[in-house]
Amino acid sequence: MALLEVHQLTKYFGGLKANDRISFALGKGELLGLIGPNGAGKTTLFNCISGLHPVSSGRIVFDGGDITPLKAHEVARRGLARTFQVYVSAGDLSVTENVMVGCFMRTRSRTRAQARTEAILEDLKLRELASHRVSELPVAAQKQVTMATALATDPKLLLLDEVAAGLNPSEIEDIMISIRHIHQDLGVSIILIEHVMELVMKISQRVIVLDYGQKIAEGHPAEIIGDSRVIKAYLGDRYVREHGGELQ
């Protein structure tokens, strides 16, 4: 059964068509990669699904209900959380306080929010950073905190927007471990926007490719890496030569 269904989603900004009749479905428990060149419409698609931008036309169904007209906070209450490319912490709050903000989506009790936060920080191996201000942390740690805050809203679906951007190989590996844990152990469905191909191709069960606002390909990572349209629009021949055999 599909957890998310996107039907012919189109989004205009003035005369610019950022998303052009995009359709796809995400199954419960699935991890889907969303890739494409800069300006392809990936983040705009996330913004429409999460309620930040109203769609120009089309329909979005989440967990059996039509969320197309809903605002972002209404979508979040349905169980859909997201991260952003640039994480801005809540002022000078600590890691614990930032994650607690997410917890207050489900409870008004500070005691319950505190307990839930402590469990999440322990789960994602962030407990040692609990008292640190997020704004003072390295980028890699901030990326982990933004996932923890989103996870605190108790989502059924998590939209991750470039959580590996700007990280070194060791930090990317740590992010990959966290994403796999959230997906496999905690049972959260995930859609992942990413330019770091060594991450997205390793952990995605299926990949969708956008170019100029249109979906140009969809399939298993091994199929995507051999698709001539994807090679021309995004991956390039060199990437395919160097990494194509890893997914066979």
Residue count (the chain): 248
Contact 157, 4 (CB under 8 A): yes
Residue 231: its pLDDT value, please? 86
CA pair distance 156, 1, nearest whole angstrom: 14
- Give the CA count within 13 Å in the CB-facing half-sphere of 203: 28
Residue 85: its pLDDT value, please? 80
In DSSP terms, 209 is beta-bridged to 35, 217
**Is CATH 3.40.50.300 correct for 2-79+155-247?**
yes
Sequence spans of domains, the chain: 2-79+155-247, 87-152
Residue 236: its pLDDT value, please? 77
Per run of 10 residues, the mean pLDDT along the chain (length 248 residues) is 96 96 98 96 97 98 98 96 76 89 94 96 95 92 94 97 93 96 96 94 96 96 89 74 57
